[in-house]
Amino acid sequence: MTILVIIIILALIFDLINGFHDAANSIATIVSTKVLSPFQAVVWAAFFNVVAFWIFDLKVADTVAKIVHTDAINFAVVCAGLLSAIAWNLLTWWFGIPSSSSHTLLGGFAGAAVAHAGFGVVNQEKIMVTFAFIFLAPIIGVIVASIITVIIVNISRKANPNRATRWFKRLQLVSSGLFSIGHGGNDAQKVMGIIAAALMVYMAHLKAQGLPIPEWANIEQMADAKGKMTIHHIPGWIPVACYTAIGCGTMMGGWKIIKTMGTKITKVTPLEGVSAETAGALTLFMTEKLGIPVSTTHTITGSIIGVGITKRIAAVKWGVTINLMWAWILTIPISGILGAILFWILTLCGV
* pLDDT of 180 higher than 70: yes
Q: What is the pTM of this model?
A: 0.85
Quote the pLDDT of residue 264.
47
If one compares 313 and 227, the residue with the highest pLDDT of the two is: 227
Tally of domains within the chain? 1
Torsion 152-34-93-288 (CA) sign:
negative
Quote the pLDDT of residue 254.
54
Average pLDDT score, the chain? 84
Quote the pLDDT of residue 313.
60
Q: Tell me what percent of the residues of the chain surpass a pLDDT of 70.
A: 89
The per-residue pLDDT for range 231-287, each reduced to its tens digit, is 888 999 999 999 999 888 887 765 555 554 444 445 667 888 889 889 999 999 999
Quote the pLDDT of residue 221.
84
Write out the residue range of the structural domain in which residue 167 sits: 2-348
Closest CA relative to residue 331, chosen from 286, 292, 298: 298
**Do 72 and 121 contact (CB within 8 A), yes or no?**
yes
The per-residue pLDDT for range 75-104, each reduced to its tens digit, is 999 999 999 999 998 888 787 776 788 888
Task: Please state, as a whole number, how many other Cβ atoms lie within 10 Å of the Cβ of residue 34.
Answer: 9
Closest CA relative to residue 201, chosen from 86, 77, 345, 103: 77
Quote the pLDDT of residue 338.
96
Q: Which residues of 308-341 are buried (b: 16+ CB within 10 A; e: fewer)?
A: bbbeeeeebbeeebeebbebbeebbebbbbbbbb
Rounded average pLDDT over 205-213? 92
* pLDDT of 324 higher than 80: no
Q: Tell me what percent of the residues of the chain surpass a pLDDT of 90.
A: 34
Rounded average pLDDT over 114-129? 88
* pLDDT of 181 higher than 90: yes
Rounded average pLDDT over 175-193? 90
Query: HEC states along the chain?
Result: CHHHHHHHHHHHHHHHHHHHHCHHHHHHHHHHCCCCCHHHHHHHHHHHHHHHHHCCCCHHHHHHHCCECHHHCCHHHHHHHHHHHHHHHHHHHHCCCCCCHHHHHHHHHHHHHHHHHCHHHECHHHHHHHHHHHHHHHHHHHHHHHHHHHHHHHHCCCCCHHHHHHHHHHHHHHHHHHHHHHHHHHHHHHHHHHHHHHHHHHHHHHHHCCCCCCHHHCCEEEECCCCCEEEEECCCHHHHHHHHHHHHHHHHCCHHHHHHHHHHCCCCCHHHHHHHHHHHHHHHHHHHHHCCCCCHHHHHHHHHHHHHHHHCHHHCCHHHHHHHHHHHHHHHHHHHHHHHHHHHHHHHCCC
